[in-house]
Structure 1
């Protein structure tokens, strides 16, 4: 059985502000439908992605900004970071973890890739090993995104 992740619902406080942000980030607007005064649905797809994001009014009761660790896979993290900055998006410096590939975690609501007791090291991973270099950004509500550089997939992917 194939299970394909199709969409992730993001909790946002201001639908129009979120729409402006994701348009600026280069996500494609697929749907913007208002069904009633209490229900509006927006559907965006990141460039090159098979999975989309949904947000709107009357869609989710989760607190705005609580979606964290939303990974966007890129072939060149420095180039992706520069493009987002050129679009007006604030993006962290590129970093890698001390000690190499570690488990996923988060700190102070910021989406990061870091193991317990590990620290971020500035710049991409020196050998540019796949899965090892990152940058982060957040939407206006604080929903946290991670750019992860992958140039070669692990077996079975």
Structure 2
């Protein structure tokens, strides 16, 4: 069976504010269409991605800011972070996990779901291992994004 994740819907409180943010982020605007005051769809695609995001009026009943752990794969975490900072996006410092995995609760530093040996450590992964270095940011509503450095994918990906 062939399946591909195509789009994810983000809950936002102010469509125009979100649109301005994702334009500043460098995402490509694919669609901004309103059919009434009760329904508007805004569709963006991150550079190089086949999966897109969509938000708008009448799109979802989820609370604004409730989407967390949205991953963006980048080739160079330092370069990506610098570019986003240059675009006016507030991005966390780069970090890695002491145990080699990204622990649950990365967006808030939640320690209740960590495995033994895990811990958020400053800086990129010491060996710059793929999947090992991260930085986070949020949109104006608090939807949480994670930059993850991936230079070489696991086999089969």
TM range (shorter): over 0.9
Look up the match of 2:105.
106
Structure 1 residue 77 corresponds to structure 2 residue 71: no
Deviation string, structure 1 residues 73-94 (Cα, Å, up to 9, x no partner): 0000110000000000000000
Deviation string, structure 1 residues 57-103 (Cα, Å, up to 9, x no partner): 0110000000000000000011000000000000000000011125x
1:49-128 equivalent positions in 2, closer than 5 A: 49-102=49-102, 104-106=103-105, 110=108, 115-116=114-115, 118-128=118-128
Unaligned runs of 5+ in 1: none
Unaligned runs of 5+ in 2: none
What TM-score results when the alignment is normalised by the length of structure 2? 0.93
CA distance in 2, matches of 1:68, 1:9: 12
What TM-score results when the alignment is normalised by the length of structure 1? 0.93
SS in 1 for 2:151: coil
Deviation at residue 110 of structure 1 after TM alignment: 3.5
CA distance in 2, matches of 1:110, 1:16: 26
Deviation at residue 21 of structure 1 after TM alignment: 0.3
Q: What RMSD in Å do the two structures reach over aligned CA positions?
A: 1.7
Structure 1 residue 44 corresponds to structure 2 residue 44: yes
Structure 1 residue 144 corresponds to structure 2 residue 144: yes
CA distance in 1, matches of 2:35, 2:130: 43
Deviation string, structure 1 residues 110-145 (Cα, Å, up to 9, x no partner): 489x84453211100010000000000000000000
SS in 2 for 1:19: helix
CA distance in 1, matches of 2:149, 2:70: 14
Judged with a 3 Å threshold, the aligned counterparts in structure 2 of structure 1 residues 71 and 148 are, in CA distance, closer, same or farther, namely: same
Judged with a 3 Å threshold, the aligned counterparts in structure 2 of structure 1 residues 111 and 21 are, in CA distance, closer, same or farther, namely: farther
> Which consecutive aligned stretches of 4+ in structure 1 deviate over 3 angstroms post-superposition?
109-112, 114-117
Q: How many residues align?
A: 154
CA distance in 2, matches of 1:69, 1:111: 13
Look up the match of 1:154.
154
